[in-house]
Amino acid sequence: MADNYVITIAREHGSQGNKVGKIVADRLGIAFYDYKLLRLASDRSGISEELFGAADEDVHRRKIFNAASKVYTGKLLPPDSDEFTSDLNLFTFQAEIIKELASNENCVIVGRCADYLLRDRHNVLRVFVHAPLEARIKQQMFILPQKSEAEVRRHVLTTDKKRADYYKRYTGSDWRDASHFDISVDTSMHPLEEAADIIISNLDVMFKINANKKK
């Protein structure tokens, strides 16, 4: 087993999975990666961070059904390739960063198909954070008070759809497939600190470490 551990968090929009992941990272004293991965991938590739951001978790449906042969393979294209800045190559740069992080440090990684990319590793706790739709809409209405309930509902559903499409595009798999995760946490049933407790407790059990002590 690797000496380090990694927690991946996939999350439904409005479930506050990002906040839960940050709480976990802060309590364990370990690194937290979400959009920071875009900057790392940009630094590695020399491709602008804006291009990574444009491709991030936003795949058009028309790309999904004709891309069966173009799911993630792990092969990076060289700078002289016409496809060097393609969405797939941008994803592959991010994947390389995620795998290196998983090999070298304790960290929490949010999104970006990290559960799939690290599926064969034994030092990973894969978490899915979710909540009923109505609870997520209510939570988002606090953040977007200028929008109507109908607009917020559409925003939540659209964001979930983009995440599902992104996952399907690069993995060929269903984003919500329970077999991809070790545990799932419903934040409508558990306050954020309690949700973090659940994740940390499972980390202790899986890796036989006292994860409540900062690493």
Query: How confident is the model over 103-160, as pLDDT tens digits?
Result: 989 999 999 899 999 999 999 999 999 999 999 999 999 998 999 999 999 999 999 9
Q: What is the pLDDT of residues 155-196, one digit of tens each?
A: 999 999 999 988 988 888 999 999 999 999 999 999 999 999
Q: Return the pLDDT at 84.
A: 57
Query: Where residue 60 falls among pLDDT bands split at 50, 70, 90?
Result: very low
Distance CA 210, CA 205 (A): 9
What's the one-letter identity of residue 150? A
Cα separation, 202 vs 15, whole angstroms: 20
CATH topology for 6-207 is: Rossmann fold (3.40.50)
Cα separation, 109 vs 101, in Å, equals 9
Domain boundaries, the chain: 6-207
